[in-house]
Amino acid sequence: MWLVFMGPPGAGKGTQAQRLAGYLGVPHLSTGDMLRLACQQQTPLGTEAGRYMTSGKLVPDPLILQLIGQRLEQSDCARGALFDGFPRTLPQAEALDKYLADRGTPLDLVVELSVADDVVIQRLAGRGRNDDQPEVISERLHHYRQMTAPLVEYYRRRGLHRLIDGVGTTDEVFRRIAASIEHQRRSGGQQPIAP
Ligand code: AMP
């Protein structure tokens, strides 16, 4: 199964994405994690990407597409993947579509966790990190909304987008996500998998 996972900072996206990848039996591909690793290893791509990351900017599309393209060639991605933090721009979404269409395995679903701004601000403020100050949180949320709005529209038009209520315990939210995916699998004629 090929799935894009989206959600604002503080929505519990990382935890859910990891759990969901395990449930689906596909690798969890976080471009943020991959970039941080490339920075640590001081690869040419990592060094260049690092310059953007430290100033809070998006890494240019060609670098991201090179990184994700290399990762998708690995054998564990043969049956699908869960994308986390990617795509972040329309050209990235279009490139992913083209890549998957060429393989004959189109994207199955885009899951977006929905959490109201005041809930996100409350949750993040509780973590006490430097970038979790209220003004910075609002700024990050604003960027997130700006960035994702066109992507949500892009996927919604193709009937792939599912909005999941991200408020509740980890288990409650996970059950909602899994139910939405199983519904999609059934309507797609595929066999459900055991929870
Ligand atoms: P994340 O861990 O997903 O918040 O990503 C950390 C940083 O890596 C971001 O602030 C961006 O600078 C960069 N990054 C991660 N994924 C992407 C992407 N798909 N496109 C552009 N930049 C990205």
Mutational pocket test of ligand 1: of 88, 139, 148, the residue with most ligand atoms within 8 Å of the beta carbon: 88
Q: What is the dihedral of CA 16, 17, 21, 26, to 10 degrees?
A: 170
Mutational pocket test of ligand 1: of 53, 54, 113, the residue with most ligand atoms within 8 Å of the beta carbon: 53
Whether the pTM exceeds 0.85: the reply is: yes
pLDDT along the chain (195 residues), means of 10: 91 91 97 95 96 89 96 95 96 96 94 89 74 75 86 95 94 96 79 46
Which sequence positions are flagged as catalytic? 13, 88, 127, 129, 140
Per-residue model confidence as pLDDT tens digits over 118-163: 888 888 777 766 666 777 778 878 888 888 889 999 999 999 999 9
With 0-12 CB in 10 A as exposed, 13-18 as middle and 19+ as buried, what is 30? buried
Give the closest residue to 140 by CA, choosing from 56, 52, 22, 41. 56
Residue 39 CA, distance from chain mean position: 20
Neighbours of 97 (CB within 10 A): 16
pLDDT, position 66: 96
What long-range pairs does 137-144 form, CB within 8 A, spacing at least 24? 137/9, 137/10, 140/9, 141/8, 141/9, 141/117, 144/8, 144/9
User: Would you give the end-to-end CA distance of the chain in angstroms?
Assistant: 15
